[in-house]
Structure 1
């Protein structure tokens, strides 16, 4: 990744996956990095299908692992381009792709005393029981401050619109927030 600023103090490590929550966390992490004059470290973690245990039971051919790594790298680059465009985040950027579970990858990357770890806090409402695993892992295991970013209010509105569309229910767009 390319740098945009040479005066830095510490790192702001942020987990990204492409979800709306991770995009919200990435935007907030960029604001925090600019405020602290710190480097921005977006981390995309990936695991083989079925997880590492399945990969150990049935070894995966190296070309397939390289393809998964390449796909993860392209996903990260596409996300960074989508969020920041040509202007970049305004601080030095170090995009990182890690083969590990997301929580472990983030905690191991944010391993310095002056790091800040930014994660999406998961969904609200009844979905909360099924989300937030990565956030809980990071809060429990990180050795640096963790900033958990709540989901954007727009995220719930989009999810509601998606559910209505999936069930072919009418949607009054006048009730959506501007």
Structure 2
């Protein structure tokens, strides 16, 4: 344990299925190591900082921060309900890009930073890799949670439905036939 008291497991959350998997893994790690859990939701103004600063009709920063806090509470509620995670935890909203916010929050050598998989498929090219940023810049260990196999099965099913291809209901209940 370092200078800041209790060891911490810091996890990035956004509400995506990958971040929910990372959140649940972070809880297991916090329980296993008797650490506190710090769930971090990073946010930026719509269009980014530069666009927000130049916009005459930009939403007030206080409202954007409150919206981010509401999203964090909704994610925690979706993940744990009223029971909570079962370990000491705190939620934190940080203004900035996800990678930087996580690295700057997990600033102790004895922290453990947990990140989920980012977007897969064609969307991957549109977003910088939070995982890569964290692995390259963190001063503490980083645990990367792989995508769930269920996620790829659901994506495949979604593609088939959107292309109006036949879907055998047995595939849904038998794990792919």
Shift of 1:47: 0.5
Shift of 1:56: 2.7
Q: Give the structure 1 partner of residue 31 of structure 2.
A: 34
C-alpha distance in 2, partners of 1:173/1:48? 43
Asked whether the 8 Å contact 1:45–1:97 carries over to 2, the reply is yes
Asked whether the 8 Å contact 1:39–1:93 carries over to 2, the reply is yes
- The CA RMSD over aligned residues, in Å, is 2.2
Q: Summarize the Cα distance change of 1:29–1:60 in structure 2 as closer, same or farther, 3 Å threshold.
A: farther
Shift of 1:163: 2.1
Q: Summarize the Cα distance change of 1:65–1:28 in structure 2 as closer, same or farther, 3 Å threshold.
A: same
C-alpha distance in 1, partners of 2:96/2:123? 24
Of residues 131-140 and 50-59 in structure 1, the stretch that sits farther from structure 2 once superposed is 50-59
C-alpha distance in 2, partners of 1:67/1:11? 29
1:3-152 aligned within 5 A = 9-58=6-55, 64-122=60-118, 133-152=129-148
Shift of 1:124: 5.8
- How many residues align? The count is 170
Shift of 1:85: 1.4
Q: Secondary structure, in 3 states, of the residue corresponding to 1:94?
A: strand
Query: What 5-or-longer segments of structure 1 have no aligned partner?
Result: 1-7
